[in-house]
Structure 1
Amino acid sequence: MRTVLVLVHAGCGAVGLLLALPVLLAPKRRGRHTLLGWAYAIAALGLSLSALGLFALDPARLWGLAVLGALTLGWLVGGVLIARRRPRRLGARGWRIWHLNLMGSTVIAFVTGFAVQMTDGNLVAWLAPTVVGSLLIARATAREVARAPRRIVTPLAG
């Protein structure tokens, strides 16, 4: 069972890492972005679930993997639901900002997992992807906010 989970985890991790940049660079409209996005989401789902399965087999040693897997799963579900539902209460483009932040966080998780594996758990590998990724997400969010139409907020009548 462990071998199967490791193979699924490694395979999904590789696919997700390979798809992350094309998804991020694809024009944000139906078509290529959506197709690549679904493939990426399936890889992220497989990665998250296999991480939780591996944790169940060795909880004392793989607690960090479980945390990363659970967070990734939460960000993934949130990012997919926001994109599917596009809630109006978030504003005309507000859903895009949430989607960008949630799915960007899953990319950080993929890179973090890869870096931790390649450096045998080095502390910098745990922290650097979050720092760099968060700065990139903040920059993309600022661009998206600048593109969003301004909302006119009116106070409620007394």
Structure 2
Amino acid sequence: MEIFNIILIIHIVCGIICLLFGLLAMSAPKRRGIHTKWGEVYHASYVGVFITAITLSILRWEEIAYLFYVALFSYSFAIYGYLAGKRRWGNWLNHHIRGMLGSYIGAVTALLVNIGDMLPLLNKLPKLWFWFLPTIVGVPIASIVVKKYRGGKKENINL
């Protein structure tokens, strides 16, 4: 098997884990325990997605250079949100939420760009929509979540 295909399989497995554990972390109660454990798996799998995406894009630059930029942009949100939760800088919870949800939007965007035309109903949309639909849906959701935790009421949450 070609090295590209091996890395692609690792990338897909990490991506599935990332998307699954991202949903699990988002749905878990926001306190130390299951949310943080699933969040750690989300972040670790995102690191795998990032490293494999960069590698794949370099191996086939002419075909998938966009993957390099999507990976860099999306993972920057993930590390930003992850560090906000770990370091607890000022207004850390808003930074954590925005970073983690921004990274999830990036992961869903990458998924749709690659397989959106194979999904029922979505395959009726122009391919350009796959680049913007996750952001159109995700940003309002992120804003609602940030507002829910704004104002210090839930700032002392035990993440």
> Taking structure 1 as the reference length, what is the TM-score of the superposition?
0.85
CA displacement at 1:60 relative to structure 2: 2.2
CA displacement at 1:72 relative to structure 2: 2.0
2:85 is the counterpart of 1:80? no
2:122 is the counterpart of 1:117? no
Would you say the 8 A contact 1:86–1:95 is kept in 2? yes
What is the alpha-carbon distance in structure 1 between the residues aligned to residue 85 and residue 22 of structure 2?
Answer: 17
CA displacement at 1:50 relative to structure 2: 0.6
What is the alpha-carbon distance in structure 1 between the residues aligned to residue 16 and residue 64 of structure 2?
Answer: 20
String of CA shifts for 1:99-124, please: whole Å, max 9, x gaps: 00001011101111111111359111
- Percent identity over the alignment? 27
CA displacement at 1:144 relative to structure 2: 1.4
CA displacement at 1:9 relative to structure 2: 0.8
Structure 1 counterpart of 2:93, which letter? R
- In structure 2, what is the equivalent of residue 132 of structure 1? 137
CA displacement at 1:95 relative to structure 2: 0.3
2:103 aligned to 96, 103, 106, which one? Answer: 106
What is the alpha-carbon distance in structure 2 between the residues aligned to residue 43 and residue 122 of structure 1?
Answer: 27
Larger radius of gyration, structure 1 or 2?
1
* 4+ residue segments displaced more than 2 Å: 146-149
1:20-99 superposed matches below 5 A:
20-87=22-89, 90=90, 94-99=91-96
Unaligned runs of 5+ in 2: 118-125, 155-159
Would you say the 8 A contact 1:79–1:100 is kept in 2? yes
String of CA shifts for 1:41-68, please: whole Å, max 9, x gaps: 0111100111100110111221221111
Q: Secondary structure at the match of 1:62?
A: helix
Unaligned runs of 5+ in 1: 150-158
2:140 is the counterpart of 1:143? no
> Taking structure 2 as the reference length, what is the TM-score of the superposition?
0.85
Would you say the 8 A contact 2:58–2:65 is kept in 1? no
Equivalenced residues, count: 144
CA displacement at 1:73 relative to structure 2: 2.0
Structure 2 counterpart of 1:13, which letter? G
